[in-house]
């Protein structure tokens, strides 16, 4: 028994790449079983890339064979069915730029070489068709929706399915049903990861989405002003309660550069999101300035992350951090 305990604590000393918790605490591994000096470990590979799994296996073997009495480690990976990693982009409050960030994050991840997708679950104001410049309805083949392709990503939006004026009166179960259609009943092929632009707020709808679709992590968008930050904390709480790791917070509309004189002002204050991250012990992923060029490009259907210049750089820096967090 002590040998198994020793092995368990050695394995729990390895940090899970997604949550940072020990491998047992993160439910990556169940308590180990040892027979005749051979430990058989069932490793849950959900949400991890092939490289991340291989690195983790190496560390498990190193830690395991260091335990007295363990002569061999056998690792069985859980069914490696194609797990699509969902990244939830949320905000506690509307209008903080959540959809803008979600679209540019997906485009940024695609520019880093991933087959990224984007789902617009923001039924009260589906903005992805505008952000990507895809105004047509999505086609369906054999009752499966075909995601639109734009700016290197695949995307589906409630706004590509229905008359959005009607959706505004939808209740929770209808939202959940529509989302299921966008996620499970669509032809996503090898798309991974998928950025999920969540409905704004932290109510029942958000809770259902999170519980049902189990994102591998959440990105929270906030502006620096106090009110938005209070709501962002609520967003963090929602994910913590449901055990979804917080990938980090983004400060959007941070500092305004006057297009004529160049002077930078801070209409919503400055540094608030980074401070909140430090207080809550969650990563700060970066800031995106309040920039007219971002709004005009977004309204014109050309996500800044697809181009060059300071606006693209701000989104790419965030995409790199999210990509690193995914492993």
Nearest CB to ligand ATP, comparing residues 14 and 205:
205
Nearest CB to ligand ATP, comparing residues 91 and 321:
91
List 153, 250, 253, 326, residue binding ligand ATP (CB under 6 A): 253
List 17, 22, 92, 200, residue binding ligand ATP (CB under 6 A): 200
Q: How far is the CB of 112 from ligand ATP (least distance, A)?
A: 21
> For the residues of 149-180, what is the DSSP string, one character each?
EETTEEEEEGGGTS-HHHHTT--HHHHHHHHH
**By CB under 6 A, residue 251 contacts ligand ATP:** no
**By CB under 6 A, residue 158 contacts ligand ATP:** no
Nearest CB to ligand ATP, comparing residues 14 and 179:
179
- Tokens found for residue 185: 């009943």
**By CB under 6 A, residue 290 contacts ligand ATP:** yes
The answer to whether 272 is a known ligand-binding residue is no
The answer to whether 323 is a known ligand-binding residue is no
Contact 144, 189 (CB under 8 A): no
* Contact track, ligand ATP, 102-131, x by CB under 6 A: --------------------x--x-x----
CB atoms within 10 A of CB 21: 15
Please choose, out of 150-158, 175-183, 258-266, 285-293, the segment that lies near ligand ATP by the rule CB under 6 A: 285-293
Burial 34-68 (b: 16+ CB within 10 A, else e): beeeebebebbbebbbeeebeebbebbbebbeebe
Half-sphere exposure of residue 159: CA atoms within 13 angstroms, side-chain side: 24
CA gap 327, 317 in Å, rounded: 16
The answer to whether 99 is a known ligand-binding residue is yes
Nearest CB to ligand ATP, comparing residues 115 and 124:
124
List 16, 192, 231, 291, residue binding ligand ATP (CB under 6 A): 291
Nearest CB to ligand ATP, comparing residues 188 and 315:
315
**By CB under 6 A, residue 252 contacts ligand ATP:** yes
Rounded alpha-carbon distances, angstroms, from residue 325 to 2, 40, 108, 120, 198: 34, 28, 14, 22, 20
Contacts of the segment 255-261: beta carbons below 8 A, 24+ positions apart: 255/287, 255/289, 255/290, 256/289, 256/290, 256/291, 257/289, 257/290, 257/291, 259/292
Please state the residue numbers annotated as binding site for ATP: 92-99
Q: Which residues bind ligand ATP (CB under 6 A)?
A: 91, 94-100, 122, 125, 127, 200, 252-253, 288, 290-291, 294-295, 298
């Amino acid at each position: 028994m002590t040998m198994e305990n020793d092995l368990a604590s050695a394995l729990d000393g390895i940090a899970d790449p997604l949550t940072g918790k020990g491998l047992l605490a993160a439910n990556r591994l169940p308590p180990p079983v040892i027979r005749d000096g051979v430990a058989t470990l069932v490793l849950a590979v959900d949400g991890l890339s092939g490289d991340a799994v291989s690195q983790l296996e190496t560390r498990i073997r190193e830690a395991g064979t260091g335990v007295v009495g363990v002569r061999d480690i056998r690792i069985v990976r859980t069914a490696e069915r194609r797990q699509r990693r969902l990244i939830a982009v949320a905000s506690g409050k509307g209008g903080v730029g959540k959809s803008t960030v979600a679209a540019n994050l997906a485009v940024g991840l695609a520019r880093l070489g991933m087959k990224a997708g984007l789902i617009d679950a923001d039924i009260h104001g589906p903005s992805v068709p505008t952000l990507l410049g895809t105004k047509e309805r999505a086609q369906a083949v054999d009752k499966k929706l075909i995601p639109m392709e734009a700016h290197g990503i695949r995307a589906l939006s409630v706004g590509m399915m229905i008359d959005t004026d009607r959706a505004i009166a939808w209740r929770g179960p209808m939202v959940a049903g529509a989302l299921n259609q966008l996620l499970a009943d669509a032809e996503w092929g090898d798309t991974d990861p998928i950025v999920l632009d969540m409905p704004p707020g932290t109510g029942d709808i958000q809770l259902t989405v999170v519980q049902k679709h189990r994102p591998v992590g959440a990105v929270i968008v906030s502006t620096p002003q106090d009110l938005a930050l209070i709501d962002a904390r609520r967003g963090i709480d929602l994910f913590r309660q449901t055990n979804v790791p917080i990938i980090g917070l983004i400060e959007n509309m941070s500092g305004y550069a006057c297009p004529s004189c160049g002077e930078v002002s801070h209409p919503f204050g400055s540094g608030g999101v980074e401070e909140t991250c430090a207080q809550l012990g969650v990563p700060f992923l970066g800031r995106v300035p309040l920039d007219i060029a971002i709004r005009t490009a977004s309204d014109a259907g050309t996500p800044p992350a697809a181009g060059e210049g300071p606006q693209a750089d701000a989104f790419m820096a965030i995409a790199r951090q999210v990509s690193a967090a995914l492993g």
